[in-house]
Amino acid sequence: MSARAIRRNPAGYSTRPGYVNPRGQVVIRNTGLRGTDRGQTVYQLGCSVCGHVYGSNGSDIFERRCPMHDHGRPGMPYEEGILAADAEYVR
Ligand SMILES: [Zn+2]
């Protein structure tokens, strides 16, 4: 992605699949599940350091830390009816 695209859409670029935040957390997909923040959906993220996969509110992606190795908040469920091993929220 070009820097120009980021400037043009500053609110949305961090939720696109393939986006990597400063903590090495990679956006995999929008799950379409309702998140816990107002108006948010849950995104499936993967950690590029340890490989952990978990769910996160879209609004948290930019500053998300890995819950497995970087002291991040526990992940959210990212599939209907399936809870992440470290999920703190139950739908
Ligand atoms: Zn990790």
Give pLDDT, residue 17.
Answer: 94
Give pLDDT, residue 1.
Answer: 47
| Mean pLDDT computed over 67-78 | 95
Ligand 1 centroid to residue 61 C-alpha, Å? 14
Q: What is the pTM of this model?
A: 0.76
Ligand 1 centroid to residue 58 C-alpha, Å? 18
Residue (of 69, 67, 91, 66) closest to 78 by Cα position: 91
Ligand 1 centroid to residue 25 C-alpha, Å? 8
Ligand 1 centroid to residue 24 C-alpha, Å? 8
Can you spell out the DSSP letters for 3-58? HHHHHH-TTTGGGSTT-B-TTSEEEEEEEEEE-SSTT-EEEEEEETTT--EEEEEG
Share of the chain above pLDDT 90, in %: 65
The top-scoring range by mean pLDDT among 6-20, 43-57, 68-82 is 43-57
Query: What is the residue extent of each domain of the chain?
Result: 1-91
